[in-house]
Copies of this chain bind each other. A is one copy, B any other.
Amino acid sequence: MPFTPQEVEAHLINLEGWEMEEERWIVRKYVFSNFMKGIAFVDEVAAISEAFNHHPFITIDHKTVTLRLTSWEAGGITAVDIKEAQQYNEAFEKARSE
A-side residues, CB < 8 A to B, are 35-36, 39, 42-43, 46, 49-50, 55, 57-62
List chain B residues, Cβ under 8 A from A49: 35
Q: Please, how many angstroms separate the alpha-carbon atoms of A89 and B71 in the complex?
A: 32
- A61 is contacted by which of B46, B57, B62 (Cβ under 8 Å)? B57
Q: Please, how many angstroms separate the alpha-carbon atoms of A21 and B80 in the complex?
A: 35
How many monomers of this protein are in the complex? 2
Sample 23 A-B pairs with CB under 8 A, ordered by A number: A35-B46, A35-B49, A35-B50, A35-B55, A36-B46, A36-B50, A39-B42, A39-B43, A39-B46, A42-B42, A42-B60, A43-B43, A55-B62, A57-B59, A57-B60, A57-B61, A58-B58, A58-B59, A58-B60, A58-B61, A59-B59, A59-B60, A60-B60
List chain B residues, Cβ under 8 A from A55: 35, 62
Q: How far is the CB of A94 from chain B (nearest CB, A)?
A: 19
